[in-house]
Amino acid sequence: MNEVLNIADQTLILHRHPRRKNETFQAWDSADEYLINHFNDSELGQYITDDGQLLIINDGFGALSCYFKDFERTVVSDSFLSVGSIKLNMQRNRCGPESLLIQDSLQSLPTNAKVVLIKVPKTLSFLEYQLQQLSAVISDDTIVVAAGKVDAIHKSTLALFEKYIGTTKTSLAKKKSRLIFSLVDQREIAETEIATTWDIERQGWTIHNHANVFSRNHLDIGGRYLMDNLPEGDFTKVIDLGCGNGVVGMAAAEAYPNAQITFIDESYMAVDSARINMLKNFEEERSDNTRFVVNNGLVGFKGRSYDLILCNPPFHQQHTITDHIAWSMFNDAHFCLAVNGELVIVGNRHLDYQDKLERIFGNCELIAENKKFVILHAVKME
């Protein structure tokens, strides 16, 4: 797997994080290369004046952050893993942190961006949120260029750039990627509430979902299946791992009223949605027994400390389909569970999580199944 990006006048060593022994995916793609080459060919650096800066949105693993190290820049991401990759790749390539500000997607964008480079995200609603935020802080002389894989750029994608930024056109495709150019048009745009709110009637809950949270318009059927199959027991320390909007952890808070519930996700928007949902739907005193953590799984958590971990693991990272995040979650869970502690997961039938859990825990029980999902239960034996 290639870890060296030779582009324009620079050579960068870039790794995806968390690193795997036999990594098969690069830490950059052709859309990163297209953006960098266009920036140089069009001499966009000349527009970044002393009182202005470069704004980079959705840098995946740090290729853009590292390449543009000579510019004052702000990098915006909703991914804890991406932020960690950017920081580590900056160190690896000896890029000083002085001219770089990294912020999450819930923070306000800088008002002095002269050039904006965007990697098109997977979720259309998240793109709309970002473009809406961007439209409020740019001016007519701001240059906006986006890039993405050809199969990720649709008419609906371009329509959002037209709506929030201005007249939009695309480039020719190169290496299966395409650029998007938008001329800033400072027209009045009615602000739209992109976060969604919907009800779960059975529990009487109102659910808030930020723009980049999985299953944002309705209850995820996998999550519902897990909620309906929580184990019986007197659990005191419970984790909702990969919590999304927090509904599984909320069901645990209902089922185990004396337990401390920890909500963990690598998305800043997901963890904030879970926090809002607990605040809105539970009595105030329950907040003393809940924690909300943006993190790479359970990295840094104390071993042998929890008696129940609930998990609806993702099978993709950004645009890449992969099972390594699920593997990592299961290994983390085994480390963090106390002896006789339990892991309960929901997964698509075809993902073969049962074999993984057998290999890690030495045991795995199928406790429920339907045409699409299985609920699996493993116990920490030693």
Architecture per CATH, 4-183: 3-Layer(aba) Sandwich (3.40)
The per-residue pLDDT for range 75-93, each reduced to its tens digit, is: 999 999 999 999 999 999 9
The per-residue pLDDT for range 315-366, each reduced to its tens digit, is: 544 444 446 788 899 999 999 999 999 999 999 988 889 999 999 999 999 9
Contact (CB, 8 A) for 34 and 175: yes
Question: CB within 8 A of 88, min separation 6: which ones?
Answer: 15, 17, 62
- Residue limits of CATH 3.40.50.150 in the chain: 4-183, 196-379
CATH T-level fold of 196-379: Rossmann fold (3.40.50)
Check residue 318 and give its pLDDT: 45
Of the listed ranges 46-55, 177-186, 284-293, 334-343, the one predicted with least confidence: 284-293
Four-residue CA torsion sign, 275, 278, 283, 289: negative
Q: What is the DSSP pairing of strand 373-379 with strand 365-369?
A: antiparallel
Helix (H) or strand (E) holding 88: helix 80-92
Q: Mean of the pLDDT values across residues 128-143?
A: 95
Q: Beta strands of the chain (E only): which ranges?
A: 4-7, 10-13, 53-57, 73-77, 100-104, 113-119, 143-149, 168-170, 177-183, 196-200, 205-209, 237-241, 260-265, 290-294, 306-311, 316-317, 320-321, 337-348, 365-369, 373-379
Check residue 352 and give its pLDDT: 85
Check residue 189 and give its pLDDT: 77
The number of angstroms, rounded, from the C-alpha of 378 to the middle of its chain's C-alpha atoms is 27
Q: Which two tokens stand for residue 143?
A: 């240059």
**Calpha distance 31→117 (Å, rounded):** 11
Of the listed ranges 69-78, 144-153, 165-174, 319-328, the one predicted with least confidence: 319-328
Please report, for residues 265, 317, 329, 345, the alpha-carbon distance to residue 313 in angstroms, rounded to integers and kept in the order given: 10, 11, 8, 8
Check residue 325 and give its pLDDT: 82
